[in-house]
Amino acid sequence: MKYNQEYFKLSNGVAIPKIGLGTWLIDNTKVVEVIKDALLLGYIHIDTAQAYENEEGIGEALSTSNIDRKDIFITSKVRAEIKNYEDAKASIEESLKKLKTDYIDLMLIHCPQPWDEIGQSYRYEKENLQVWKAMVEAYNEGKLKAIGVSNFNINDLNNIIENSSVTPMVNQCACYPGNTPTDIIEFCKKNNIIFEAYSPIAHGRAKDDARVQKLAKKYEKSFAQICVKYVLSLDVVVLPKASSYVHLKENIDLDFEIEKEDLDFLR
């Protein structure tokens, strides 16, 4: 089996594969073989981040692949703790070096707040605009083919939209059965922002969801396949994480349809 990718078009015309490979918690050493297996199966969209600390391993795997760089879509993210122009600019250069590439297909602000301040009232609006400025510059220089954000709510998105000539092309957020941020998804669609769903399997917790279990049995599919198919039905990019060949293969073995009433059941 080799998966044939389908694509969305970002607002600037760049094609983004609908299914990508999440690499959170896959360390620098193990990620090399994971990426090699993924490429063999047909994955061409790899999602990483500075905070994952595996950009070097991904760069090594991609540099030794026989697949042309232009045929692989790489996403990375500026650390959530970086909230100023100079550090953001330096971090982009560091990511390019670690990934062994002249350009990154998509760069995101990882979170509007540093991770240890999630849920607090201060949203770092001015600081995020400084990070965005560095990203826009790198975009205009061709070092980034597209730019966006992650974990941004509607107010956070509006802060960028209203104060920059470049609107985020992507917003990446958690999305899985029982946790569908419909308001953010609809806002993104209205503003020509592609929504990306990370953790479609809820970090594995979805296997304990009775609704997912019921549909997995009905369709004779794994809980992961039900989750990924559900998220794809929302017309968004989905980024399932896997580290074993079996799970990598399973997450793209999606040649089945879930009935609408069952999709509604999972929301």
What CATH number corresponds to the domain at position 107? 3.20.20.100
Count of structural domains, the chain: 1
Measured CA to CA, the distance from residue 94 to residue 177 in angstroms comes to: 36
Residue 106, helix vs strand vs coil: strand
Q: Which pLDDT score, from 0 to 100, does residue 191 have?
A: 98
Asked if residue 45 is part of any domain, the answer here is yes
Report the DSSP pairing between strands 106-109 and 73-78: parallel
Asked if residue 86 is part of any domain, the answer here is yes
Asked if residue 16 is part of any domain, the answer here is yes
Asked if residue 22 is part of any domain, the answer here is yes
Measured CA to CA, the distance from residue 96 to residue 92 in angstroms comes to: 6
What tens-digit pLDDT sequence spans the chain (267 residues)?
Answer: 567 889 999 999 999 999 999 999 999 999 999 999 999 999 999 999 999 999 999 999 999 999 999 999 999 999 999 999 999 999 999 999 999 999 999 999 999 999 999 999 999 999 999 999 999 999 999 999 999 999 999 999 999 999 999 999 999 999 999 999 999 999 999 999 999 999 999 988 999 999 999 999 999 999 999 999 999 999 999 999 999 999 999 999 999 999 999 999 999
Residues annotated as catalytic are: 52
φ and ψ of 139, to 5 deg: -65, -45
Q: How many CB atoms lie within 10 A of CB 131?
A: 27
Q: Which pLDDT score, from 0 to 100, does residue 260 have?
A: 97
Q: Which amino acid is at 189?
A: K
Asked if residue 228 is part of any domain, the answer here is yes
Measured CA to CA, the distance from residue 126 to residue 207 in angstroms comes to: 40
Asked if residue 161 is part of any domain, the answer here is yes
Angle at 224 between CA 234 and CA 230, to 5 degrees: 15
Q: Which residue segment(s) compose the domain that 207 sits in?
A: 7-266
Q: Which pLDDT score, from 0 to 100, does residue 4 have?
A: 80
Asked if residue 2 is part of any domain, the answer here is no
Give, in order, the Cα–Cα distances in Å from 82 to each of 24, 87, 110, 124. 19, 6, 9, 11
Q: At how many degrees (to 10) do helices 154-163 and 182-190 cross?
A: 20
